[in-house]
Amino acid sequence: MGIFMAKRLARLAARNLTDHRPYELTSQSDTPLNKWEIRDPVEFEADHSLTEAYRHQWSLQAPGAKYWVGVLGAIGGRKNVDVVASAISGLGDEFGLVVAGVAEREESEVQTWLRPLSNTGLSVREARLLSDVELDSMLLALDAIVLAHSNEGPSGIFAKAVAAGVPVVTAGAESLRSDSSRFPDLAEHVSLDPMSIGDGISRAVRRKPRGRGTPRGAEQFAGKLVQP
């Protein structure tokens, strides 16, 4: 029995045999929801002046870069930053990579993952915890983001990208494939290898469907939890 099914059966047993009401957290793109599903709460609040400042900062570091691609959030091995960096390195000096978020491992290991771009100035590393406004503003400054991991479940970064209209390249998890299929004009799921991700990035940066709408936020999440 898979882990996903085991968890679902455990929730079912808890509802039927106890007074507890466990919900299943789902992606923002999942619709419709059943009685026991609840969307991952996501807020999006960008500061446009900060977005412009990020873009200016990157252009100073790599004046020739026309497109900036991001890997955002907690930075660990599951994000496959090394694969994304290899993909970017194969696209030429018009493409740069922004990797922003606290390292889950030693920062020296993150720098090793970025080695394919380290001598070109085409990588930007923000090794710190970003505030919500900083994260959203940085996401809005990007031409595309890459979500390349195999852990299943809803992605807050994907939901934020949908709200901002920032193109997304996904690879790995089936949940990412499912989310991407719901937004074919915005997202594409590819194989988890440098060539496929690179090709996906090349297509993504030429899509500009900005402003897809506001994701469902904390109010809706809390409202369902406290309903009778």
Q: Give 111-130 pLDDT, tens digit per residue.
A: 999 998 987 889 999 999 99
Report the pLDDT value the prediction gives residue 112, as an integer from 0 to 100.
Answer: 95
Reduced DSSP (H G I as helix, E B as strand, rest coil) percent helix, strand, coil of the chain, to 5:
45, 15, 40
Alpha carbons 43 and 22: distance in angstroms, whole number: 23
pTM of the predicted structure, to 2 decimals:
0.78
Give me the chain's average pLDDT, please. 82
User: Among residues of the chain, what percentage have pLDDT more than 90?
Assistant: 61
**pLDDT single digits (tens) 73-88:** 999 999 999 999 999 9
Residues linked to residue 190 through DSSP beta bridges, in sequence order? 171
Q: List pLDDT tens digits, range 156-198.
A: 899 899 888 999 999 999 999 999 998 998 999 999 999 999 9
Res 223: pLDDT: 43
What span, in angstroms and rounded, lies between the C-alpha atoms of 160 and 158?
A: 5
Q: For residue 129, with 0-12 CB atoms within 10 Å meaning exposed, 13-18 middle and 19 or more buried, which class applies?
A: exposed
